[in-house]
């Protein structure tokens, strides 16, 4: 195999498709390991096509860049976490403040990714911008990546092209009805690209922010017009990011459209200020058990393309997973090149299994079933609001016992105790 | 409520001459639910009495939602060569 590799006329050791967080992390790591790398990015600069809710847990960035991460153009450290739950005219909220926390930052991707890409460029990695990959063909033992800027011959592709995962489609790792694929061996036989496995993120940037020099992250439930999903708000340096994540299967049968629901949301929040930008993006929403295939001959899949979004009820995160999976893919690329066998990419899967990504994803699996569940978005908030309303009301009649109030509200919403207990166990 | 078209106008979008989205209207004509219209955050898909669906590809934010939502595979979606560029993201 080694001889064959030497004989083949490859342009690079690794072609990275997508210059976002995962792709750039992979490129930085591969370059530091002495591999020749090229990055193909569809946008006019890295970040120009990216949208995130807007908060990054920075541990992965620190691991990748060391102290240098402090130079990154992050927005504000998030020191206040707020949950708001709306039901009709009721609103319950909960806040937690930690003045010392520098665990996560608000972030605007257009600015951040452009900086991140320049970090790779400073290491000598060429990034080809405004480059649209239109296909990938297998040729001899390697791959030919087709783009509107020409072909690239490579023994290995690292895919970081986001939730739509076109590279995986081109190579037959995943498929869907509307794509005419040639049948490929080793095809994972799960129902890929189903609406229930995705959320639509719709987002608006407002030109004002609350007072203060640190950021607040809000998770907002009950303002998505009955659609399964939630809202968010993050404070940036000069702006506020607000948005909704809406389950696609829930949105499909709904009367109101996503672009109307987001405006309702903004109005109900009562946010002052001018709108600066309106954006949308797909968010992977896989359970651990149904994650797509992450490796095959000559390809490693990273970030959103691999479905690495973790929602454990308290935190929702994809960006740290993207950076870490990219870093691991870069490390794996070095090992694969050293072995000389580009069909044996299992080493990347082993590294993922040892990382926090798959461990946390598996741990969050039970709780994530709650978010596919009608009760979470309807009955439970109503029960909570009902209990609070009665406990905060004084009528002159004898005060009700909280236990009776709870049991009464649970019964009113037709929830069985056994169901409730089962759901509660998923949280713990 | 800010009108969708005005909101889309906030973004920089370099639109090509050719649509990057093709729909198979013979399928769209028979589709009752038309989930593409409901999921698309940019109003790209509109009901059309004759063709079933009209595509305003110049509105597209390239999110891919319609691609997943179409139950009949009637949609051919390629990314445009230029398209939308976000300032904040």
Residues A205-230: pLDDT tens digits? 999 999 888 999 999 999 988 898 99
The encoded tokens of residue A229 equal 């999903």
Q: What mean pLDDT is predicted for residues A46-61?
A: 97
B10 with A198: Cβ contact below 8 A:
no
Q: Higher model confidence: residue A331 or residue A379?
A: A331
In sign, the C-alpha dihedral spanning B10, B13, B17, B23 is negative
The predicted pLDDT at position A329 comes to 98
The predicted pLDDT at position A187 comes to 38
The neighbouring-strand residues paired with A161 are: none
Burial of A356 (0-12, 13-18, 19+ CB in 10 A): middle
CB A235 within 8 A of CB A99: no
Per DSSP bridges, beta strands B21-23 and B75-77 are antiparallel
Distance from CA of A191 to the nearest CA of B (A): 12
**From the list B4, B10, B64, which residue is nearest A163 (CB)?**
B64
Q: What mean pLDDT is predicted for residues A277-286?
A: 96
- Helices and strands, counts by H and E, chain A: 15, 20
A276 with B88: Cβ contact below 8 A:
yes
CB B59 within 8 A of CB B41: no
Q: How far is CA A14 from CA A82, A129, A423, in A?
A: 43, 17, 45
Q: Which residues in B lie closer than 8 A to residue A177 (C-beta atoms)?
A: 70, 72-73
What proportion of chain A, given as a percentage, has pLDDT over 90?
Answer: 80
Q: Which residues in A lie closer than 8 A to residue B83 (C-beta atoms)?
A: 49
DSSP code of residue A222: S
Q: What mean pLDDT is predicted for residues A367-386?
A: 85
The encoded tokens of residue A314 equal 């308290």
The encoded tokens of residue B19 equal 């649509």
Q: Which residues in A lie closer than 8 A to residue B42 (C-beta atoms)?
A: 259, 280
B87 → chain A, closest CA residue:
A110
The predicted pLDDT at position A338 comes to 97
A267 with B1: Cβ contact below 8 A:
yes
The predicted pLDDT at position A411 comes to 95
A111 with B69: Cβ contact below 8 A:
no
CB A30 within 8 A of CB B67: no
For the domain made up of A2-76+106-192+290-364, give the CATH fold: FAD/NAD(P)-binding domain (3.50.50)
Distance from CA of B22 to the nearest CA of A (A): 11
A378 in contact with chain B, both atoms CB, cutoff 8 A:
no
Query: What CATH number was assigned to the domain covering residues B14-84?
Result: 3.30.70.20
Q: Which residues in B lie closer than 8 A to residue A202 (C-beta atoms)?
A: 41
A176 with B78: Cβ contact below 8 A:
no
Which residues numbered 211-270 in A keep a CB inside 8 Å of some CB on B? 239, 241, 248, 251-254, 257-260, 262-264, 267
Query: In chain B, what are the domain boundaries?
Result: 14-84
B85 with A194: Cβ contact below 8 A:
no
The encoded tokens of residue A275 equal 């709108």
CATH 3.30.9.90 in chain A: give the residue spans: 196-284
Q: Distance (Å, rounded) from C-alpha A327 to C-alpha A374?
A: 37
Burial of A6 (0-12, 13-18, 19+ CB in 10 A): exposed
A47 with B64: Cβ contact below 8 A:
no
B38 with A251: Cβ contact below 8 A:
yes
- Please report, to the nearest 10 degrees, the dihedral formed by the alpha carbons of residues A386, A389, A391, A394 taken in order: -140
The predicted pLDDT at position A318 comes to 97
A259 with B43: Cβ contact below 8 A:
yes
Range A196-284 has CATH code 3.40.309.10: no
Burial of B40 (0-12, 13-18, 19+ CB in 10 A): buried
Helices (H), A73-178: 109-122, 166-170
Mean pLDDT score of chain A: 92
* pLDDT tens-digit map of A120-134: 999 999 999 999 999
Residue A189, pLDDT above cutoff 60: no
The whole-model pTM stands at 0.93
CB A232 within 8 A of CB A193: no
Residue A151, pLDDT above cutoff 50: yes
Distance from CA of B36 to the nearest CA of A (A): 8
Q: Distance (Å, rounded) from C-alpha A340 to C-alpha A356?
A: 28
Q: What mean pLDDT is predicted for residues A40-60?
A: 97
Q: Distance (Å, rounded) from C-alpha A319 to C-alpha A23?
A: 12
Residue A57, pLDDT above cutoff 90: yes
Q: How far is CA A81 from CA A63, A94, A143, A190, A385, in A?
A: 24, 8, 46, 37, 20
The kind and range of the H/E element at A295 are: strand A295-296
Question: Of B49, B23, B26, nearest to B36 (Cα)?
Answer: B23
Distance from CA of A341 to the nearest CA of B (A): 33
CB A292 within 8 A of CB A174: yes
The predicted pLDDT at position A186 comes to 37
**From the list A52, A262, A282, which residue is nearest B63 (CB)?**
A282
**Average pLDDT by stretches of 10, chain B with 89 residues:** 95 95 94 93 96 96 93 91 96
Strand boundaries in A98-149, DSSP class E: 104-106, 127-128, 133-139, 142-147
* pLDDT tens-digit map of A294-333: 999 999 999 999 999 999 888 899 999 999 999 999 999 9
Q: Which residues in B lie closer than 8 A to residue A258 (C-beta atoms)?
A: 38-41, 65
The predicted pLDDT at position A1 comes to 45
In sign, the C-alpha dihedral spanning A357, A362, A367, A370 is positive
Complex ipTM value:
0.97
The neighbouring-strand residues paired with A15 are: A38, A157
The neighbouring-strand residues paired with A168 are: none
* pLDDT tens-digit map of A336-365: 999 999 999 999 999 999 999 999 999 998
Q: Which residues in A lie closer than 8 A to residue B41 (C-beta atoms)?
A: 200, 202, 258-259, 262, 280
A47 in contact with chain B, both atoms CB, cutoff 8 A:
yes
The predicted pLDDT at position A7 comes to 53
* pLDDT tens-digit map of A66-116: 999 999 999 999 999 999 999 989 999 999 999 999 999 999 999 999 999
Question: Of B60, B78, B64, nearest to A193 (Cα)?
Answer: B64
B67 → chain A, closest CA residue:
A178
């Amino acid at each position: 195999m080694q001889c064959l590799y030497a004989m083949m006329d490859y342009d690079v050791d690794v072609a990275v498709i997508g210059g976002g967080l995962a792709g750039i992390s992979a490129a930085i790591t591969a370059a530091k390991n002495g591999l020749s790398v090229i990055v193909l990015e569809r946008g006019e600069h890295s970040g120009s096509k990216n949208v995130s809710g807007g908060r990054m847990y920075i541990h992965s960035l620190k691991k990748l860049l060391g102290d240098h991460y402090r130079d990154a153009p992050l927005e504000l450290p998030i020191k206040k976490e707020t949950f708001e739950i709306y039901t009709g005219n009721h609103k319950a909220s909960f806040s937690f403040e930690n003045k010392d926390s520098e665990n996560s930052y608000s972030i605007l991707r257009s600015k951040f990714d452009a900086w991140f890409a320049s970090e790779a460029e400073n290491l000598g990695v060429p990034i080809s911008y405004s480059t649209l990959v239109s296909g990938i063909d297998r040729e001899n033992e390697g791959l030919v990546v087709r783009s509107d800027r020409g072909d690239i011959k490579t023994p290995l592709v690292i895919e970081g092209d986001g939730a739509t995962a076109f590279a995986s489609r081109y190579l037959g790792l995943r498929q869907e009805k509307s794509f005419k694929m040639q049948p490929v061996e080793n095809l994972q036989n799960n129902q890929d690209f189903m609406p229930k496995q995705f959320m639509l993120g719709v987002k608006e940037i407002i030109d004002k922010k609350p007072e203060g020099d640190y950021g607040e992250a809000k998770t907002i439930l009950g303002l998505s017009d009955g659609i399964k999903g939630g809202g968010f708000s993050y404070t940036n340096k000069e702006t506020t990011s607000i948005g909704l994540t809406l389950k696609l299967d829930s949105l499909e049968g709904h009367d109101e459209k996503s672009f109307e629901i987001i405006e309702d949301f903004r109005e109900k929040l009562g946010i002052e200020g001018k709108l600066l930008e309106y954006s949308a993006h797909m968010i992977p929403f896989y359970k651990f058990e149904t994650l797509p295939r992450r490796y095959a001959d000559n390809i490693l899949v990273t970030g959103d393309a691999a479905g690495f979004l973790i929602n454990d009820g308290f935190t929702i995160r994809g960006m740290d997973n993207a950076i870490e999976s990219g870093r691991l893919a870069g490390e794996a690329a070095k090992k694969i090149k050293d072995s000389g066998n580009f069909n044996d990419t299992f080493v990347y899967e082993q590294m993922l299994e040892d990382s926090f990504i798959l461990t946390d994803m598996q741990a969050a699996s039970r709780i994530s079933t709650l978010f596919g569940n009608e009760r979470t978005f309807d009955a439970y908030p109503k029960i909570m609001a009902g209990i609070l309303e009665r406990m905060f009301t004084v009528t002159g009649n004898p005060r009700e016992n909280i236990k009776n109030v709870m049991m009464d509200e649970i019964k009113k919403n037709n929830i069985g105790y056994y169901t409730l207990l089962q759901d509660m166990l998923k949280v713990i | 409520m800010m009108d969708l078209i005005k909101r889309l106008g906030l973004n920089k979008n370099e639109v090509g001459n050719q649509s990057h989205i093709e729909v198979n209207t013979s399928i769209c004509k028979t589709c009752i639910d038309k989930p593409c219209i409901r999921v698309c955050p940019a109003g790209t898909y509109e009901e059309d009495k004759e063709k079933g669906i009209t595509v305003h590809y110049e509105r597209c934010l390239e999110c891919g939602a319609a691609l997943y939502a179409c139950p009949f595979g009637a949609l051919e979606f390629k990314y445009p060569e230029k398209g939308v560029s976000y300032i904040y993201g």
